[in-house]
Copies of this chain bind each other. A is one copy, B any other.
Amino acid sequence: MLKIGIEQEDSQYSLRAKVFQQLEEDILDGKFKSGDSLIETKLSQELGVSRTPIREAIRQLELEGLVKIVPNKGAVVLGISTQDIEDIYTIRMLIEGLAVRWATEKINDEEIEKLKESIELSEFYTRKNNMQHLQRFDSRFHELIYEACKSKPLKHVLTTFHHYIQKARMSSFAAPGRASDALKEHKAILEAMIERDCDRAEKLMYEHVKNASANLIKAKKQNQN
């Protein structure tokens, strides 16, 4: 098994983190719909833990904007609408280019190696047509750049957004040819980064997000028909 430096999920350490992940996934996947209310006792029975970790996880979801807490009444799911996802792509078009620009200015050899590795693995799984793993390393490419840009606020916002749109990305990859196009775009971006060409890297990333967004909207229209 290839050893890669994907950051460990802290879910193995605390119930709270597990519950948080579970609830977040359930909301993003639509198992909890907007307007559903999260009852502590019910959840604690379903998940087999006490109310304490449940409460802490719900409080975190509130700060993520995924639920709304009304004092003394409880938490209702807000979820993410397709409009939210479109907005996120629009925002990413504006700032993900900045991230790759800063990353290009500040990246070190080790980080470049990791980027290369993520692209190699993406190629591997593209050929294998394994969408699950493909998305994983496609995601990793972006998150490595967020890390490499060395800006806490920029990394924070992009990571959060990236997390939100995971589900949308999945269906986006299903479009024929999109996966290999995205891979080509990633390669071009990395090439520009290695040549320390900030302008080109920024422009390429802008185009990449724009293409992904266009692809997503196209896929959405097709689903409606």
Residues of chain A at the chain B interface (Cβ within 8 Å)? 10, 13-14, 16-17, 52, 55-56, 59-60, 62-65, 71-72, 78, 81, 83-84, 87-88, 90-91, 94-95, 98, 151-154, 156-157, 160-161, 164
Q: How far is the CA of A138 from the CA of B52 in the complex (A)?
A: 39
| Contacts A56-B56, A63-B60 given; does A153 touch B14 at CB 8 Å | no
By a CB distance below 8 angstroms, the chain B residues around A64 are: 63
Q: How many copies does the complex hold?
A: 2
Q: How far is the CA of A92 from the CA of B94 in the complex (A)?
A: 10
Q: How far is the CA of A88 from the CA of B13 in the complex (A)?
A: 32
Q: How far is the CA of A157 from the CA of B95 in the complex (A)?
A: 12
- Cβ contact within 8 Å between A59 and B164: no
CB distance from A146 to the nearest CB of B (A): 13
